[in-house]
Amino acid sequence: MPFSRRGIFVRMVILASCIAAAGESAAQPKTPVPDAAAQQTAKKAAGELFADRFTQAKTTAEKTALATDMMDAAGRVQAGSADQYVLLKISLDVAAGTGDAATALQAVERLIEQFDEPAAELIGETLLTAARQATTSAQHKAVAEAALSIAGKLSDADQYETALRLYEAARSSAQRAKLFPLAKELTAQIEETKRQQLLSEDYRKALSVLEDKPTDPEANLAAGRHLCFVKGNWARGVPMLALGSKPPPPPNTRRLPKRP
């Protein structure tokens, strides 16, 4: 499958929306991930069906074609079955293993549409694998551009560790593709994500304090800063910032001794 910048951009938008929607109630319940026994049976069937292709696929193009054909096969089996899950998962692994982020993300998209997989973790790990395996400038470019969008959504979902790992991998890919302005932008995002991570840690600590001391100034200040400046939730954050403003010390009411 030829590299398509438009295709991967559209896929990034869809996957970013999946991350943003994580934790919200889905309109339709998703299929649980098949158990280990069912997956093992499906893997055996897939291995037999594509045995010759696995043996013959040596080049990146051949492996990408194999991944694409396995995705096509997944569309012809029963929706939500172990066979479908395994075909998509193997397709994802094959594509990511060749550094083909676009094809791997296509498999991810179909997996998280049908199955109850953790979207943020799956997307992040897929891009990290593609980044490690990328060899061409086009592959590194695709990884860097995709990661820039996805890592931001991971940060929004409080997945800071995965976001930082992805930003670091994306910066390395951008440098290898000689996309130096993008590498500079990713460096700035890394620093910003580290700042957000620290504020998030302070926020969690502050919430713990506020359970027992709802008017504690320092805890309100930390919580308010996180809500306003990281999450953009000014409606909740501003009242906390107000409570976090330390009141002026009480006036000295002691009477000075009268001078003789």
Span 79-101, average pLDDT: 96
State percent of the chain over pLDDT 70: 83
List, for residues 121-130, the tens digit of each pLDDT value. Answer: 899 899 999 9
Predicted confidence at residue 3, as pLDDT, reads: 45
List Cα–Cα distances, 227 to 16, 173, 199, 203, 217, in angstroms: 21, 32, 9, 8, 15
**Are 108 and 118 in contact, with CB atoms under 8 Å apart?**
no
**Are 173 and 134 in contact, with CB atoms under 8 Å apart?**
yes
**230: pLDDT confidence band, cut at 50, 70 and 90?**
confident
Question: Given the structure tokens 């996180």, which residue do they identify?
Answer: 226
List, for residues 92-133, the tens digit of each pLDDT value. Answer: 999 999 999 999 999 999 999 999 998 888 998 999 999 999
Least confident window among 21-25, 52-56, 115-119, 213-217:
21-25
| pLDDT over 90 (residue 19) | no
Look up residue 160 and give its two tokens.
């800071």
Predicted confidence at residue 182, as pLDDT, reads: 95
Question: Given the structure tokens 């930082």, which residue do they identify?
Answer: 164
Span 64-74, average pLDDT: 96
Q: Which pairs count as long-range contacts for 25-31, CB under 8 Å and 24+ apart, including other chains?
A: 30/114, 30/115, 30/116, 31/79, 31/80, 31/114, 31/115, 31/116
Predicted confidence at residue 156, as pLDDT, reads: 83
